[in-house]
Amino acid sequence: MSSVIGTVSSKFESGQGVVVTALGVTQILAWGSSYYLPAVLANPITVATGWPLPWVVGGLSLGLLAAGLCSPQVGRAIERTGGRPVLATSSALLGLGLAGLGTAPNLPWYFAAWLVIGLGMGAGLYDAAFATLGRLYGARARAAITNLTLFGGFASTLCWPLSAFLVESLGWRGTCFAYAGLQLLLALPVHLLLVPRLRSPRTAAPACGEVAEPRQLQAEAASPPARRRRFILLAAGLTVGSVVQSVVSVHLLTILQARGLELATAVALGALVGPSQVGARVIEKLLGGGFHPIWTMLASTALVALGIGLLWTGLPAPAICLGLYGAGAGVNSIARGTLPLALFGAPGYAALMGRLAMPMLIAGALAPSAGALLLDRIGVTGTLATLAGMATVNVSLMVGLLMLIRGHREKRRT
């Protein structure tokens, strides 16, 4: 009997590994051909077209706004039909939008293309992929989500050099066409062939305040008001974190140069963030499985706050600051997928992820412009102080969520 169970378990894990690997490849392509694309293409586009650089970069903000607005619908669609058709649609939208970028004769066309790309981002980046894994594997999705973030951590590392090579070889328009081809000829078939169909589609998803709990947590959140309080704290924390990380991601080189560093040194220091993210995710994978994901989220917010706070104080070793920040940002990607699953359970998880993604993506779209305004009005020191304050507030929000969880456990014991 035990050998039969072992064989079934082995087959399950093997099948899950294929799905995670497939999604890992398509996540790298999705991030590289959308979110990370302007980092390499913005200047070539400006030089070739004469369009103002802020407007060119603004295409990504428009795309993120579209992604945020469509996220609740994406979550409900995954809840009803599974991730396979939604992720396949994402690949098609990304391919269409990238082809539109490559043919854009003017800024209105360019922005329209980014709107299409934004819809593809909303249907295909982390939140949609996490929702897909949660829908497929239920409470067992935690390991799959963690493994997927390990793939995603290499998106910029792989796609920035690839984009630079393509721009040098094909020009910026040819680069867009190349990525469109990868979406349509690689990512789309992978989603259709390797992401399983749902065996029992649901016709509707529960409301965010009425998401079913996993059995081991039902007694901790027996009432809808308690679930709503959890949802509010979690959504607020994720949104605040999104603002902080978006500002740092876009303006990090500016901040470091304003502190007196040469551009080459600032770039080298900024490159430490990526390896720190991946390293922290590996550590979480090895050690975090035995702990509730609230501890991963709490560690994430504390590391981000500590890294930014030390950078604000002018610590002479900025590499330490960025290493701490990168580690916190890295495990945040894991916690934002696993914590909702642990708090609210597998039923309704996909729809819940869509609701959580909406404020995060909208805030992330607006944050870079707000960061530029802060840098202009109060300077680097004031901006870092503001970010450190927001990061500290985020720690407080997660402590509050932890206290809610512990409070319900105490009630259960008594």
Q: What is the pLDDT of residue 42?
A: 85
- The C-alpha atoms of residue 362 and residue 243 are separated, in whole angstroms, by 9
Q: What is the pLDDT of residues 356-385, one digit of tens each?
A: 989 998 998 888 888 888 888 898 899 999
What tokens appear for 96 in the block?
């269409």
- Whether the predicted pLDDT of 339 surpasses 80: yes
- Domain 1-204, CATH 1.20.1250.20 — does that match? yes
Q: What is the pLDDT of residue 156?
A: 76
Kindly report the number of other CB atoms within 10 A of residue 319's CB atom: 12
Domain ranges in the chain? Answer: 1-204, 209-414
- Whether the predicted pLDDT of 338 surpasses 80: yes
Q: What is the mean pLDDT of residues 274-282?
A: 86
What tokens appear for 48 in the block?
């070739």
Q: How confident is the model at residue 288 (pLDDT cuts 50, 70, 90)?
A: low
Exposed/middle/buried for 10, CB within 10 Å: 0-12, 13-18, 19+? exposed
- Whose tokens are 């027996």? That residue is 222
178 neighbors 102 (Cβ within 8 angstroms): no
248 neighbors 312 (Cβ within 8 angstroms): no
Q: How confident is the model at residue 58 (pLDDT cuts 50, 70, 90)?
A: confident
Q: What is the pLDDT of residue 7?
A: 39
Domains 1-204 and 209-414 share a fold: yes
For the whole model, what pTM was predicted? 0.81
Q: What is the pLDDT of residue 188?
A: 96
Q: How confident is the model at residue 187 (pLDDT cuts 50, 70, 90)?
A: very high
- Whether the predicted pLDDT of 180 surpasses 80: yes
Q: What is the pLDDT of residue 410?
A: 60
Structural class in CATH, domain 209-414: mainly alpha
Q: What is the pLDDT of residue 9?
A: 39
Q: What is the pLDDT of residue 2?
A: 40
Q: What is the pLDDT of residues 195-208, one digit of tens each?
A: 998 765 554 344 34
Least trusted range by pLDDT, from 11-15, 207-211, 293-297, 339-343: 207-211
Q: What is the pLDDT of residues 5-36, one digit of tens each?
A: 343 334 444 488 899 999 999 999 999 999 88
Contacts of 132 (CB under 8 A, 6+ apart): 23, 78, 82, 83, 84, 86, 87, 195, 350
Q: What is the mean pLDDT of residues 384-389?
A: 95
Q: What is the pLDDT of residue 122?
A: 93
Angle 209-210-213 (CA atoms, 0-180°, nearest 5)?
Answer: 115
- Average pLDDT for the chain: 85
Q: What is the pLDDT of residue 347?
A: 84
Query: Among residues 28, 100, 88, 26, which one has the least CA distance to residue 63?
Result: 100
Least trusted range by pLDDT, from 201-215, 246-260, 349-363: 201-215
- Whether the predicted pLDDT of 214 surpasses 80: no
Least trusted range by pLDDT, from 229-233, 257-261, 295-299: 257-261
Contacts of 143 (CB under 8 A, 6+ apart): 285, 289
Q: What is the pLDDT of residue 414?
A: 58
Query: Among residues 399, 282, 400, 274, which one has the least CA distance to residue 334?
Result: 282
Q: What is the pLDDT of residues 390-413, one digit of tens each?
A: 999 999 999 999 998 877 666 666
Q: What is the pLDDT of residue 53?
A: 83
